[in-house]
Structure 1
Amino acid sequence: MRSIKVVIPFKLDCAKSRLSPVLSSAERQDLALAMLEDVIDAVSGLGDVTILLKDPPSEPGTFDRLISRPGIHSQIDILDCPLELDPALNLLIEAEVKRGWPSDLLIAMADLPLMTPSDLEEMVGTPGDVVIAPGRGGGTNLILIRNPKFRVSYYGLSFLKHLQMAADLGLSAGVFESFRCGSDVDEPSDLVEVMIHGRGRTPELLRSLGFSLSGVRERSRAEISR
């Protein structure tokens, strides 16, 4: 099996603004870092990891604990890039092409706290020049690029766009359907799934912030309270 390079795009400034009804700005930053920690734990067994930063944090040493924790055996690099998501990732893909494409590339979003190493093993076992793990609402949560011809186009219905882009290039596209990989965190209601199914740093942080599961609403979906 070819080696895999993992890229995690990450933005700390104004992190997770749609959670502002339930979390302060500082709490949202803490949540973003907790989710990044869980994602690193999930992907670190695949290969070297690059955290692609949109805006470097103002606090020095923000990532020191994340990348030097016991049990993390991958090389973890921090790469600052002021570009928006698509041009930043496509520039990184181009750089890998110029290097001779030494490793396949897995792009993993930083807000997937339920994802586990076993999920990624299944994804890596899925055939295709490109393998996509869709998110809810038509987004792309993970994309494994095995053919260097492929480029990304996030935002909007990126899952369908990526399928069409692969077809236009004559590439085979695999789809990896996964509850855990499909559960990204954007809205307050998404925190329910983290509290129910999460096992890492993210639910631990939410509990420390005073969140708990309470009650039952229609179709037996739990609610969170604080």
Structure 2
Amino acid sequence: MRADDAPGVQRPVHIIVPFKQSDAKSRLAPVLTPEERRLLAFTMLRDVLAVVSSYGEVTVLSKPGLKKEELGVDVAISQSNLELNEAINAFIDSHAKHGWPSDILIVMADLALLTRDVVEGILDCDGDVVLCPGRGGGTNMVLTRSPRFRTCYRGLSFPKHCAQAKRLGLRLNIFESFRAGCDIDEPGDLAEVVLHGRGDAPLMLKKMGFELAKEGKAELKRVANREFKSSCKL
């Protein structure tokens, strides 16, 4: 057993945050303009980076064109034309070839409800692979302590990731979290941001003219159908 495998000793971790710039958050198109979706996507990314950057080295994976000044914190950017799984798994391959200097925590960029307690919670979990399920069968965070594990995002990724870990004989743990399980993809998700978000994303939605409906279930409505002016700077 390595010294940093001992109970109570935090192992080093490298956090990967994949980010899609082009046509970001397309499923929010019924309620947000392309510019509003871009601004919200960047705001959620910045909120996520502000939370995870205290826990280790951070790398944002993106297609070419992302600028450091857009991120709000000093983190690394790895840009390529690879798709999501290929980009993540290429990073894992490289990490393994360099002797696996740290574990890898993959965090989706649209976890607008993420807090430090959630990050600490998954890092404290035992196991070679720790998965945090999202709603609808997705996987919102992955902690891998094994260089053999690879991601298989798209579609029902959570059962795929579980099956792969078991097939490889890796110790699998499941970390369930309301905050980490709530990724922001659909118009109905935006109410959760205003209700439970602690970063800048709730403020951004309010600047866009959204407020919680005063009656019925939690949902957002746009005040006076006001169109947001993109004078708001990132």
Normalization by structure 1: what TM-score? 0.91
Aligned CA-pair RMSD: 1.1
Ranges in structure 2 where 5+ consecutive residues have no aligned partner: 1-9, 223-234
Aligned length, in residue pairs: 213
2:104 counterpart residue number: 105
Deviation at 1:195, TM superposition (A): 0.8
1:54 counterpart residue number: 63
Deviation at 1:216, TM superposition (A): 2.7
Q: Give 2:47's match in structure 1, choosing from 38, 42, 48.
A: 38
1:190 and 1:38 map into 2 onto residues whose CA distance is: 16
2:85 counterpart residue number: 86
2:37 counterpart residue number: 28
1:106 and 1:216 map into 2 onto residues whose CA distance is: 40
Ranges in structure 1 where 5+ consecutive residues have no aligned partner: 69-74
> For residues 154 and 65 of structure 1, do their structure 2 counterparts lie closer, same or farther at Cα, with a shift above 3 Å needed?
closer
Stretches of 4+ aligned residues off by more than 6 angstroms? none
**Are positions 1:177 and 2:173 aligned together?**
no
SS, match of residue 15 in structure 1: coil
1:28 and 1:113 map into 2 onto residues whose CA distance is: 14
Q: Which residues in structure 2 correspond to 1:8-23 (within 5 Å)?
A: 8-23=17-32
2:229 counterpart residue number: none
2:159 and 2:63 map into 1 onto residues whose CA distance is: 25
Deviation per CA, 1:159-187: give whole Å up to 9, x if none.
Answer: 11001000000001110000000000000
Deviation per CA, 1:110-146: give whole Å up to 9, x if none.
Answer: 0001010111111111111000100000100000010
Please tell me the residue identity of whatever aligns with 1:191.
L
Percentage of pairs with the same residue: 49
1:8 and 1:55 map into 2 onto residues whose CA distance is: 15
Deviation at 1:65, TM superposition (A): 4.9
1:223 counterpart residue number: 219
1:6 and 1:56 map into 2 onto residues whose CA distance is: 21
1:180 and 1:121 map into 2 onto residues whose CA distance is: 13
1:71 counterpart residue number: none
**Are positions 1:66 and 2:75 aligned together?**
no
2:84 and 2:98 map into 1 onto residues whose CA distance is: 21
1:97 and 1:151 map into 2 onto residues whose CA distance is: 11
Normalization by structure 2: what TM-score? 0.88
